[in-house]
Structures are given as structure tokens and as C-alpha cells.
Amino acid sequence: MKATYHPGVHKYALFVVCWTAGLLTAGALVTSNDAALAVSDWPTSFGSFFPPLRFLTGGALIEHTHRVIAAILGIWIIVLAALLARYDERPWLKKLGYAAVAGVIFQGVLGGLTVLQLLHYWLPVMHACLGEIMFAILVSIAFFTSRWYMQDLPQYPDSNTPTIHSLVTFNAIVIFVQVLLGAGFRHHYMSYSPHVIWSLIVLLSVIWTASTLRRRFPEVTVLARVRVLLHILVGLQILLGLGSLWSRITTADAPQPMPVMIAFTVAHTVAGAILFATSIVAVLVCYRLVPRKREVLFATTKGEVPA
């Protein structure tokens, strides 16, 4: 179905993406400061949704601020879903908006259980990973509501093996596994070794994906931008990861989390989320520009030639 571009909806979707990035930063601050249980009740904080300021110091302030940002995000996502339902003609995108609402509600409940269950049962890891999935969903909605996605675009057939769709999807999965391993390490469910070892696999996967994009589609500007961005982000992520590991080792005997460790860890966590979201964008761009084999076969059968 041909959709109509609504600049207000797209700009609002971008705003929600930026707010979510702020929430990921706030969540990383909670973890890095060991502040997850600084407020031990939920959904209230110290028995109230608006606790007295005298209670909000140190880790409690960080944790409560994270909750407030998350609650506001829930409102923003409900509004986004309503805008999609009102203005967008694509039923599947409306459903994606509803899924985002369901996801943010589940994420809130999962965060509450994380506190009430005292960080047990891998709940913090599930909470962290779902947060990254939600970020990717919201980035996808912003992508689908963009003018670029809705315009008529040239198509670039790909007859190679593996298909570019399979390759970019594999790359996104590899990066998400790294997100999972990183969350497991940050929340003390595993050592740093799996995360460090898998980072090399992520690097190889990104290099393979980017080099394939360059080789098969050298003339496609948007794919060139995607592969360059993937290269930049994975390089930055590895540097931040090394800095985070170094800061943890050198401050291991400190009585509390030190600023240098907090800064590196937060930056590493947020950059990881952006890298994962970018890998999802790579998937969406490839599906938008490169017809799948069965689409080419169908067009050929009907006597059409893909543009």
C-alpha cells in the first residue's frame, strides 16, 4: 500500500528515539553506579510516586530518575501509536505501534520484577536486552515513517550467495548476542571473557557485511553510508570496551564505582545500543532497495523487469 508522508509523525518518532536513547543512558547509569536496589519498592519509590526530595540522594536519585524517564517514555509511545493509527495507511505499521506499546508496558513490569526479586533469575539481563529491542523497534518506526522510505526508489538485484538480506540479518543477530553477553557481564551473571571473545566475532561480522555491501553495491550512496557507519560504530565500541575493561580492573579495589569506570561503561553500553539499532537499519535498507529472489522470480514470471 502506498503511504503518505507525514512530516509531523516522522519528527515525533525521531523525538521518541532520542528520548529512548536518554533512557538507555539513565539505565546504564543505574547499573554502573550499582543503584538498581537503591529504591527497594515498586511501582512506587519510598512508598510514593512523588517521594520527598530528602529521600532522593545518591543512588536513589539515579534510580528514581530512571523510573521517571521510563514512565514518560511510555506516554510518548502511546501517543506515537495513536498517531500511527490516525494518520498512517499501513496496517502492519499500526500493529508495530501497538507492539511498541505492549513492549514498553512489559519492559516496565520486567524492571519492577527486577527490583522486587532483588536482581535474581537473570531478570536484569532480560530487562537490559528488551530495552535494546525496544530501541530498535522505535528506530524502525522512525525509519518507516521517513520520506526516504516512502518515495519511489531504484531496485538493485542481488543474485549472490549468501543473499545480502541473509548477511545483514546474520550481522544483526551477532551484534544482539554481544548485547546479551555484555548485559550478563554487567549484571554479574558471567565473566567478561565471553563478551570479549564475542567482540572479535562482531568485528569480523561487521567487516564481512560492510565489505560485501561495498563490493556488490558500490554505487548505492545510502548503503555506503550504512557500511561506513557500521565501521565507525564497531571501532568506537571496541575502544570504549577496552576503556571500560581497563577502568574496571584499575578501580577494582575502590570502595564505590569511580567516575572513570562509570563514564566508560555508560558510553560503551549506549554505543552498543546504537550499533545494534544501526544493524537493524542496515537490514531495513537492504530489504527496501534489494528485491528478494522470490520477488524477482514473481516479476519475471509476470513479464516484468525489476526497476
Q: How confident is the model at residue 67 (pLDDT cuts 50, 70, 90)?
A: very high
pLDDT score at 199: 95
Is 60 exceeded by the pLDDT of residue 301?
Answer: no
pLDDT score at 1: 58
Q: What is the pLDDT of residues 31-47, one digit of tens each?
A: 999 998 999 999 999 99
Is 60 exceeded by the pLDDT of residue 5?
Answer: yes
Q: What is the pLDDT of residues 172-186, one digit of tens each?
A: 999 999 999 999 999
Q: What's the predicted TM-score (pTM) here?
A: 0.92
Q: How do the domains of the chain map onto residue ranges?
A: 1-151, 154-307
Is 90 exceeded by the pLDDT of residue 74?
Answer: yes
Backbone torsion region of residue 155, taken as left when φ is above 0, otherwise alpha when ψ lies between -120 and 50, otherwise beta: beta
Rounded to the nearest integer, the mean pLDDT of the chain is 92
Rounded to whole angstroms, the Cα distance separating 261 from 251 reads 7
What's the mean pLDDT in 134-150?
A: 97
Is 90 exceeded by the pLDDT of residue 302?
Answer: no
Is 80 exceeded by the pLDDT of residue 55?
Answer: yes
What's the mean pLDDT in 191-202?
A: 94
- DSSP 8-state symbol, 5: P
pLDDT score at 294: 57
Is 90 exceeded by the pLDDT of residue 22?
Answer: yes
Compute the residue count for the chain: 307
Instruction: Return the sign of the alpha-carbon dihedral for residues 97, 99, 103, 105.
Output: positive
Is 60 exceeded by the pLDDT of residue 114?
Answer: yes
- State the residue for C-alpha cell 549468501: 162
Tell me what percent of the residues of the chain surpass a pLDDT of 90: 88
Domain 154-307 maps to which CATH number in 1.10.260, 1.20.120, 1.10.3720, 1.10.1760? 1.20.120
Q: How confident is the model at residue 266 (pLDDT cuts 50, 70, 90)?
A: very high
What's the mean pLDDT in 53-57?
A: 91
What is the b/e burial string over 13-48, where b = at least 16 CB atoms within 10 angstroms of the residue's CB? bbebbebbbebbbbbbbbbbbebbebbeeeeebeee
